[in-house]
Chain A
Amino acid sequence: MPKRHIIESVLAFITLILFLLLGNRLSHYIALPASLLGLLLLFFGLLLLGRVPTALEKVSQFLLRHLSFFFIPPLIAAWFYAEQLGSKLWLFLLAIIASTFISLCITSWLGQRLFKGTKNTAPQDDHR
């Protein structure tokens, strides 16, 4: 990787952290997650800019592709809490299983009914 690309990637990552810090600052006044506020601020920034800088796109794609990695520690912690539920764990799991199944049925049924017959005009490319 050329040196310029490395520097650009580091700057893009720092940009993400700066927006997270801004969101963190803002969350003292608005009771919303800091990361969400950072997301919205960056989104409005991109709207103002009118395009996504290449380095920022690459860094965010990398982070989102490997999102699973960052999930591992929280999932380990969840294990610990799930054990504390003891015999009620299966009731808890059943709630998740049933609600996921039913809501998936409803959303796909509703989406199919609403979109059936309408022209499929959405853009094909998805920038991935």
Chain B
Amino acid sequence: MKTDDVQHLARLARIAITDTEAAQFTQEIDDILQYVSEVQAVAGTDAVTPTVGPVYNVFRADVVTTEPEQYTDTLLQAMPETDGRFMKVPKILKQDD
């Protein structure tokens, strides 16, 4: 792994990292990957069906379970920037003047 690869991962994960951080993470992630790659030998090449336990893909009925507006004010208050009942976000694209 190179620092460029780590910078790419950081962009995918939406985290700005400095060159110093990238250098440190590159070394550490390399070490961790080397360690965890042991699973490849342990799992072998035979197909193993991943198990998920006995309870999975359980769905509830698609019905409204809360009162209208029950949480609206609470959730709006948690937002860093609002405009009335809307969440305010910056532009998606930079504007060229």
A, B co-complexed: no
Instruction: Using CB atoms and an 8 Å cutoff, list the residues of chain B in contact with chain A.
Output: none
Instruction: Using CB atoms and an 8 Å cutoff, list the residues of chain A in contact with chain B.
Output: none
